[in-house]
Structure 1
Amino acid sequence: MTGRATPEKGSDASGGTKRASDLLTIGDMARRTGLSVSAIRFYEEKGLVFPHRNAGGQRRFLRSDVRRLSFIVIAQQLGLTIGEIQAVLARLPEGRTPNRADWTQISAGIRTRIDDKIAQLTRTRERLDGCIGCGCLSLKACQLYNPGDRAARQGSGPRRLLAD
């Protein structure tokens, strides 16, 4: 659990009074975020969201968790793994949702990753003309699958298919 106070104690992460009507059920969260209930439970299991439990054991989420879950989905679409998202969110105090300043820092790292991916895709695009699409696996001229004929060092023939 994060440092958030439970609803029974009457306060939220910002220290303000928290009413039961301020909390959302998991179904409400699913409707608000477009995520399935099972996805929200998965994110809870991974420690990315921390719902409170009412007296009956039902999950209750803070309204700010809508933004937190939205951040998680966007981060995944940008290529961050669950582990990387955990690390980013763990750096935030009291389990709060990333704010503008947090996002500026986070997005700098994502931007670097995107730039690297663009460079990789550009190299692949430039090598496409050298590929004749034959599936040979070790042709010296194949710049996509076997650049510089690296497979030749492993022996002749389709080395990636043959077990030594």
Structure 2
Amino acid sequence: MAKIDPDEIKRPLTVGEVARRSGVAVSALHFYETKGLIHSVRSAGQQRRYGRDVLRRVAVIKVAQRIGISLASISEAFASLPEGRSPTAGDWARMSSLWRKELGERIMQLTRLRDQLDGCIGCGCLSIDACRLRNPLDELSEQGSGPQLL
């Protein structure tokens, strides 16, 4: 087994190293940084350098995105984490409990949409007057048929 150099563990990672180790494109890392999800410092040559905690943060981002969590929700969850520290199992438990609620609400909404879709399959009309999928919450119908905001 190779001996681990303590100085190597402390060395910041380049964007290319983070991309290779996380399986995420460099452009995605730059995007996550513009959204405030991850942070870097600049080297003397103005190159991005990342702390090793960014690898865990990127892993959390990718898992959360895979289950359908928005970047806005991920950002809100990350706001409670201290900078420069990898998310812990406790952090994950807190974040996932929030996301579980969000996913439950989305599942209920999708179930309602699926059930409404079943009612439209028979006619296929997508009627502006009668179809809840084509024209949900039509508040302007009281003013008559046709476009009302011209």
Report the counterpart of residue 108 of structure 2 in structure 1. 119
CA distance in 2: counterparts of 1:20 and 1:99, whole angstroms:
18
Report the counterpart of residue 60 of structure 1 in structure 2. 49
Structure 1 gap ranges (5+): 1-16
> Residues 102 and 21 from structure 1, CA distance in 2 versus in 1: closer, same or farther, beyond 3 angstroms?
closer
The alpha carbon displacement at 1:115 in A equals 1.0
CA distance in 2: counterparts of 1:144 and 1:110, whole angstroms:
27
Normalized against structure 2, the TM-score is what?
0.76
**What secondary structure, in the 3-state scheme, does the structure 1 residue paired with 2:110 have?**
helix
CA RMSD of aligned residues (A): 2.7
CA distance in 1: counterparts of 2:49 and 2:135, whole angstroms:
53
Report the counterpart of residue 30 of structure 1 in structure 2. 19
The alpha carbon displacement at 1:100 in A equals 0.9
Identity over aligned pairs, percent = 43
| AA at the equivalent of 1:121 | L
Equivalence map 1:9-158=2 (5 Å): 18-19=7-8, 22-131=11-120, 132-138=123-129, 140=130, 142-146=131-135, 152-156=141-145
| AA at the equivalent of 2:127 | C
The alpha carbon displacement at 1:154 in A equals 3.6
The size of the alignment, in residue pairs, is: 143
CA contact (8 A) 2:57 2:87 kept: yes
CA distance in 2: counterparts of 1:116 and 1:110, whole angstroms:
10
CA distance in 1: counterparts of 2:65 and 2:118, whole angstroms:
32
Structure 2 gap ranges (5+): 1-5
